[in-house]
Structure 1
Amino acid sequence: MDLGQAPTDYQHCRILAADDDEKICQLYTQIFQGGVESASESERMLEQLLGQEQLEVEQQEVFDSAVVNQGEDAVVRARAALAEGRPYSVAFLDMRMPPGMDGLETAKQLRALDDRIYIVFVTAYSDRSIDELDQTMEHGTLFLRKPFVKEEILQLARTLSRNWSKDRRLEDSVSRAEMEVVNSAMKAKDDFLASMSHELRTPLTAIIGNSEFLAESSLDDDQHELLRSIEVSSLGLLALINDILDLSKIESGKFSVDEIPYDLNEVIDEVGYVFAARAHEAGLKFQVDHPEFTNQLIGDGRRLSQVLINLLSNAMKFTAEGQVTLTVRADEEAGKIHFQVKDQGIGMPQETLSKLFKPFVQADATISGRFGGTGLGLHISWTLVELMGGKIHVESEEGKGSTFCVMLPLTVSELPVSTKRRRCFVTLDCYFSGKILVAEDAPELQSLERRVLKSMGLDVTIANNGREVVELALSEEFDLVLMDMQMPEMDGIEATEMLRSVGYEIPIIALTANVMQQHQDQFEAAGCSGFLAKPIDRHRLQEVLGGFLTSCTREQYLKEGHSIAAAEEKEATSNSFVDDE
């Protein structure tokens, strides 16, 4: 709970008083609103005894105060003050306040709300001994007998408020120091994760891309099986890297979702296409049941896709035979949309369901050994659904399968869906014309990127570092620059900034293994026109190229004078990059 900033002047502290005697309440009001003049010599002596330095005190001191006649009212005022971030520093409490709570019970409840409030018991009679009160309240408690002198109340208010202010300033100082330590540790962790992601994604790009190129060549069944094993292992490692980065965002509070129009038809089509292929390979039946939406929805289509992919991956992992079904239903009257992923897999006992969405937890300790996985996917999905304002739950019976249900708010945009549905796979009949400058320092990735881009009909020039990029970009004509961001001599950010500073207007796309949000923000600030993560998603690659370059069909490509051999080379390698799921 935020208790606000410590006042710099003790007179800005807030005072609370409770007494069932109306005359004493009026006296409190008079004292706190300036009815007593400057401190007497006896008050200054008391101040010294309490360990306070002597300060010049203005006449007609005024405190921000509240005076009530029941303990319950005092607790209500204190709770409201905390909610405002302006808590009371001192409470003056009568011991007997019939018909409600006595002073001790009131003090207990005030301390339960805020352990730092000073308590002054002011009473002529008490059913409790001073020792009992002192032991019960433990600290920050004083006692004043009635009848009291007005100056005593004022002096205690002044002295205790000053103590309270000093304590708060000390706490603020300690909190800032602790926060600096925490922030430093978080930055070190983020830097480590960013470095780890980059160092792992770079070789994975070469492994995945070259494996799929090799798979298109003449190989026997055993060789194809070996390549398939490499591909599956590489994609599994990539998924783990993505999960670890997402978990880091969750822990640091940097996980966010968008509220923008998106085409749910496209999301479902793309997810369905991917898992139809997976189901076919696994010998499973896969069914998608959803209505056609005529308008786009408001939300985060990319994060929704991530949730559905996690749930469907989980369903297929634990289903050896049978069917996996994705069902979508919209309830416009209730403003809700429901997604259901149902499988006929191993199921789970009821006692394991409560811990299913916790990080690094699986329903059965033996599952990781039998099926693999880290237990992060469902926790990330749960977090995403919560961020999108929805709910997720699971129904399962051991031996009979599981059903995951996601409910999200349904907000319909005024924008219609595209009448031309985006295809969910890389088309062979898609070429681009243009000249591309690729900045890449890793030789194995230079070869891969050159081959993929040439297979799309593009002329490719390679630069080994940022300095070469700048020299080539300013001396030759290019239609697009693909810029790696972590290179020797001059990195991609510095190279991009240098080009933009001299008026270079050709699109520059960040092509990098640095995928954390702070990196993407840096690329955009430097002047990049877009972003592509390694390993490259083939759909995103075509989308980006299509946004800046002229596309054409195979027939048009040949009419422009390109050779049939070039077209055939493109067809043989068009599926080289894989989806970064």
Structure 2
Amino acid sequence: MKFLFLNKALRILLVTILILATTTTLFSQDAIAQIDIQPYFDQARKFKNQDKIDLALETLNTAANEAEKGEDIKGLIDSLHELALLYLKIDKEGDTEFYWDRASVLLKDIAYPYGDGMHKYIEAILLHRSNRNFQALFMLNEAKQLNNDRNFYNNLLLTEAKVYLSLEKYDSATKNLNSLIVNTDLYEKEYLTTQAYLTLAELNLKIDNLSEAAKNGENALKLAIDNGFLEDIKNSNTLLSSVYERLGLYQKSLVNTQNLVQLKDSIFNIDKNKIEAKTADKIRDDYKTEEIARQEKKIEELTESQNRSELTAILTSAFLIIISLLAVTLYRNNQIKLKTNDLLQTKNKELQIARDGAVQAMEAKTNFLSTVSHELRTPLYAVTGLTHLLLEENPEEHQKEHLKALKFSGDYLLNFINDILHINKIDANKLEPLNMEFNLSKVINEVINSLSQSAKSNKTDLVLEYDSDIPNNLLSDPLKLSQIFMNLIGNSIKFTKGGEVKVIAKLLNKIEDDITIYFEVKDNGIGISKEKQKSIFEGFEQGSIQINREYGGTGLGLTIVKSLLSLFESKIELESSLGEGSSFFFEIKMKYIDSASEDISFEITPKDYDFKGLHLLIVEDNKINQVITKKMLSKRDMTSDIANNGHEAITAAQENVYDAILMDIHMPGISGEEATIEIRKFNQDTPIIALTAISLDDSLESFYAAGCDDVVTKPFKPDVFYQKIGENIFDKRAKKSLS
């Protein structure tokens, strides 16, 4: 009898479960498809920068409504944040805080780092507006940790610069603004550059550098006019009117004042302000009304649920009876689960400890290799530099052979160090792909031309099959693509003698401005066995010890290719057979644009410069490097002074006139980067070339932002060294004379 009752209870439970499962399935089938609201944000950003505030508000309101219809919580949060920023632009901080609060409620129930970062960014702006600038800086730093979107980061840099300006930290503000002037933002490149120039003009006006303020103000005004940034046109004219008046250039000041009056009469008038205020108030009030309606609906739903409570109590009683009957069985099962969970927790802790140990070991390896690679460059500079000088001093024939062998060994060691440093930078997330305009055909052809001599020495033909349907003007990172092809094609040439290496580039698909390109490097060389194909992309792998001894090399080329392709979210594939050849292929997604652009060359075009009579300053703390660099300059009839550290460099630049300054970065006391910033305060014209051994933590962007004109990495090839000096002295003089 007990068995029959238990059987009946189980059947009731199964029916209940089936009903719940059916309800869940129907609900999932009725789920509302989400709509992509990103185009609304792009359009609103454009309207905002052109000061069409009413249109921007309406566009963002539409985005919020679409996100709510599609139950897109992240999209709704983004819409509320964009509305909050837009109300800030028209100085309605109360409305900004209203939308910010609405986003706060939604963020409590969802894990959304991008939304959290934007939330802290808006809070930082509100803190800055209330003169709590140190709290604003702290909040901006918090936002940086949560959001790595490039457009967000660039706007954050601009806000940070304005906070620094309020705190009178002019050097920090200038560094941020200089980096924004050369930004590569996909969405607001011109707007961010305009804002950077305008803020720099305000900074220079504060420190009474009126000529620099006028120059930056004019740059901002030109960009604002070209792009229709109405608010920036007004602000630029206001600033320039004040600057020219203080400079005593009253005619120019009058022109800017007249422009300002005309602008206010035609655009920034009472009607425009009324329309914007009316639109802003209507959208805010409509949102509040809708929010009240939503709350009332929830109250109604709760009231209806109360009427069903009695029925729920009866069903609950029946359900409890069923649960009681199953309790004994569940208890036994739970005991087994508890024992299993204890075991799993123990194993998880062991795995956690092992993982932490592996992470620490990886970090230690990365830091060790980076330090060793960097420190090896200084003595290697002495080896390669002295070898070059000795070869130029007409050594005897029996000495030439030894010196050439020494030069080859130095170059080989330098390439090896560079490969290790490059892999470490990728592993440590120190590299990210750029996004610049370039011509793919030109990039591949330049790589092929640079490797043609190696192919000839192996009696190997280099063939390019390039799809004519590939657009000319693409957006991606041509420098890293060039490195990928250099390693793959060079690798195929090395293992192919008397054969053919074919490079294939083919357009796979094109949707709007997104394209996917297929690449392949194919050879008929020695091939790779199936066993070795599994490890060929790992560091220091070349197939076998015999291959390494016969063909040479470090085995890092394919590791670098694999690491670089990971930056593009792509993967290298391999097909190969022993004695028949190998084929390496991959796909990369890029964007293309219709406008024509100048071709970008990545190879140095050698020029013959007459260096005679030039006088340079060498900033270097290493005595051997001082002697070598000075000797190399004297070989081309150049004279030089030596500064042992950054302080001496600043003093020498103040007291003397130099055609260029060769600046080491890593020095005791103040760094070369800090010395450059100080020199640029009183000398804007003398070319400064960073002559340094770049480490894992160094950033080329920070060198340029500090005021360096160019960078030459030590140890360097002499022809590159002389070429850089010529370009930065003579070519820039020629450009200035033309302008």
Same fold (TM > 0.5): yes
Q: Distance in 1 between matches of 2:572 and 2:712?
A: 31
TM-score (norm 1): 0.60
Q: Distance in 1 between matches of 2:361 and 2:575?
A: 39
Q: Distance in 1 between matches of 2:670 and 2:678?
A: 10
Q: 2:402 aligns with which of 222, 226, 231?
A: 226
Q: Contact 1:515/1:533 (CA < 8 Å) preserved in 2?
A: no
Q: Residue 378 of structure 1 corresponds to which residue in structure 2?
A: 558
Residue 308 (str. 1) matches residue 485 (str. 2): yes
Q: Displacement of 1:465 after TM fit?
A: 2.5
Matches within 5 A, 1:127-526: 128=329, 130-138=331-339, 191-216=367-392, 218=394, 223-282=399-458, 284-288=460-464, 290=466, 295-330=472-507, 333=510, 335-364=515-544, 366-418=546-598, 424-428=604-608, 435-453=615-633, 458-488=638-668, 490-500=670-680, 506-520=686-700, 523-524=703-704, 526=706
| Residues 523/425 of structure 1: CA separation in 2 closer, same or farther (3 Å cut) | closer
Q: Contact 2:541/2:555 (CA < 8 Å) preserved in 1?
A: yes
Q: Secondary structure at the match of 1:298?
A: strand
| Residues 217/552 of structure 1: CA separation in 2 closer, same or farther (3 Å cut) | farther
Q: Displacement of 1:439 after TM fit?
A: 0.9
Paired AA for residue 575 in structure 2: E
Paired AA for residue 125 in structure 1: L
Q: Contact 2:466/2:505 (CA < 8 Å) preserved in 1?
A: yes
Q: Distance in 2 between matches of 1:289 and 1:445?
A: 46
Q: Secondary structure at the match of 1:270?
A: helix
Q: Displacement of 1:440 after TM fit?
A: 1.9
Q: Secondary structure at the match of 2:377?
A: helix
Residues 152-179 of structure 1 show CA distances to partners (whole Å, capped at 9, x for unaligned) of xxxxxxxxxxxxxxx9xxx9xxx99x98
Structure with bigger strand share is 1
Paired AA for residue 488 in structure 2: L
Q: Distance in 1 between matches of 2:728 and 2:681?
A: 21
Paired AA for residue 372 in structure 2: M
| Residues 210/191 of structure 1: CA separation in 2 closer, same or farther (3 Å cut) | same
Q: Displacement of 1:384 after TM fit?
A: 1.3
Q: Secondary structure at the match of 2:520?
A: strand
Q: Residue 103 of structure 1 corresponds to which residue in structure 2?
A: none
Q: Contact 1:294/1:416 (CA < 8 Å) preserved in 2?
A: no
Residues 107-139 of structure 1 show CA distances to partners (whole Å, capped at 9, x for unaligned) of xxxxxxxxxxxxxx9553268352233203537
Listed as ranges, the gaps of 5+ residues in structure 2 are: 1-10, 29-72, 74-108, 113-321, 735-739
| Residues 216/476 of structure 1: CA separation in 2 closer, same or farther (3 Å cut) | closer
Q: Displacement of 1:466 after TM fit?
A: 2.2
Q: 2:325 aligns with which of 114, 124, 138?
A: 124
| Residues 276/504 of structure 1: CA separation in 2 closer, same or farther (3 Å cut) | same
Q: Distance in 2 between matches of 1:448 and 1:281?
A: 33
Q: Distance in 2 between matches of 1:517 and 1:262?
A: 28
Q: Secondary structure at the match of 2:652?
A: helix
| Residues 407/125 of structure 1: CA separation in 2 closer, same or farther (3 Å cut) | closer
| Residues 214/352 of structure 1: CA separation in 2 closer, same or farther (3 Å cut) | same
Paired AA for residue 240 in structure 1: F
Paired AA for residue 124 in structure 1: L
| Residues 220/270 of structure 1: CA separation in 2 closer, same or farther (3 Å cut) | farther
Q: Secondary structure at the match of 2:666?
A: coil
Residues 461-507 of structure 1 show CA distances to partners (whole Å, capped at 9, x for unaligned) of 33232232122111111243221122345542343344346676644
Q: Contact 2:430/2:696 (CA < 8 Å) preserved in 1?
A: no
Q: Contact 1:21/1:69 (CA < 8 Å) preserved in 2?
A: no
Greater length-normalized contact order (CA 8 Å, ≥ 6 residues apart): 1
Paired AA for residue 306 in structure 1: Q
| Residues 351/198 of structure 1: CA separation in 2 closer, same or farther (3 Å cut) | closer
Residues 496-538 of structure 1 show CA distances to partners (whole Å, capped at 9, x for unaligned) of 3443466766443321113334354554565434432112356
Q: 2:714 aligns with which of 534, 556, 564?
A: 534
Q: Distance in 1 between matches of 2:408 and 2:510?
A: 44
The count of corresponding residues between Structure 1 and Structure 2 is 423
Q: Distance in 2 between matches of 1:339 and 1:324?
A: 13
| Residues 204/426 of structure 1: CA separation in 2 closer, same or farther (3 Å cut) | farther
Q: Residue 38 of structure 1 corresponds to which residue in structure 2?
A: none
Paired AA for residue 134 in structure 1: Q
RMSD: 4.7
Q: Distance in 2 between matches of 1:184 and 1:270?
A: 41
Q: Contact 2:687/2:729 (CA < 8 Å) preserved in 1?
A: no
Q: Displacement of 1:286 after TM fit?
A: 4.0
Q: Distance in 2 between matches of 1:331 and 1:209?
A: 48
Q: Displacement of 1:216 after TM fit?
A: 4.9
Q: Distance in 1 between matches of 2:421 and 2:12?
A: 59
| Residues 216/543 of structure 1: CA separation in 2 closer, same or farther (3 Å cut) | closer
Paired AA for residue 451 in structure 2: F
Paired AA for residue 730 in structure 2: T
Listed as ranges, the gaps of 5+ residues in structure 1 are: 1-18, 26-67, 87-120, 142-166, 557-581
Q: Displacement of 1:270 after TM fit?
A: 3.5
Structure with bigger helix share is 2
Q: Secondary structure at the match of 1:405?
A: strand
Q: Distance in 1 between matches of 2:471 and 2:330?
A: 76
Q: Displacement of 1:347 after TM fit?
A: 0.9
Q: Contact 2:609/2:726 (CA < 8 Å) preserved in 1?
A: no
Residues 417-459 of structure 1 show CA distances to partners (whole Å, capped at 9, x for unaligned) of 5379776552336769854322123344334433544566755
Q: Contact 2:458/2:496 (CA < 8 Å) preserved in 1?
A: no
Paired AA for residue 256 in structure 1: E
Paired AA for residue 449 in structure 1: T
Q: Distance in 1 between matches of 2:601 and 2:684?
A: 35
Paired AA for residue 228 in structure 1: K
Residues 176-214 of structure 1 show CA distances to partners (whole Å, capped at 9, x for unaligned) of 9x98x9998777655544432232112223333443444
Q: Displacement of 1:243 after TM fit?
A: 2.1
Q: Distance in 1 between matches of 2:325 and 2:540?
A: 61
